Amino acid sequence: MIKAIIFDLDGTLLNTAPDIQFVLNGALQHFGLPPVPIEKLHAMLGDGAYNLVKRAVPQDKQQLVQAVYEYYCPAQAAYDNRLTCLYPGEDEALTRLKAAGIKLCVLSNKPQAATRNVCAQKLGKYGFDIVLGQGQFPLKPDPAGTEHIIKLLGIDKSECIFTGDGETDYLTAKNAGIECVSVLWGFRTREQLKSYGASLFAEDYTNYLQILHEKFSLRA
């Protein structure tokens, strides 16, 4: 029986891409660098702010990566995330999961300050039990953050599943030895996820609840 779900943040719980683009392009502009269009941004997301900045900075300006990163992180942490929103059907899904007694957790490669900030702004009403961003543990797909959450909850690995939109999330679950539901409303396609081995997919939050019921016997 599932007692807890660990969610990825960007592209899974929240559509943060427009706000990430706004803050990132502000940092790039500060150093006289060209902006990143939204259609290219999606492929850059998933494995932490430093790697995002490194990909965004032109190859001939890589000496500026650290400076842009140090400018970007506090700007992102302080930002009001005005364009960030939940996905269709998510409000009902999270409300039902919480009412069913499921422990809701976040594990993100976004820096801890920014993770806590956006979760407080956009997800506070759902009472997430644990919110963990980059800083204390190695980045996903290292399983340390996942294993720490499971230990804090005092549950067995078989009682927890991971949910995320990226290959990093699937590999995190695989490395931690837990099941993963890969979602298709985020920043990766089914084909991209399948190439890494993902095999369980949710089309939307309604379908996600159906999967939890049918595969994991979770009634919410």
Please identify every residue annotated as catalytic: 8
Q: Which residues contact 151 (CB under 8 A, 6 or more apart)?
A: none
For 142, other C-beta atoms within 10 Å of its C-beta total: 15
Residue 175, classed as helix, strand or coil, is helix
Tokens of 202: 């949710």
**CA atoms of 97 and 3, how far apart (whole Å):** 10
* Range 191-195 contact pairs with CB under 8 angstroms and sequence separation of 24 or more: 192/167, 193/166, 193/167, 195/167
Cβ pair 140, 163 in contact under 8 A: no
- DSSP characters over 40-97: HHHHH-SS-HHHHHHHHS-GGGGGGHHHHHHHHHHHHHH---TT-BPPTTHHHHHHHH
Tokens of 99: 């009412």
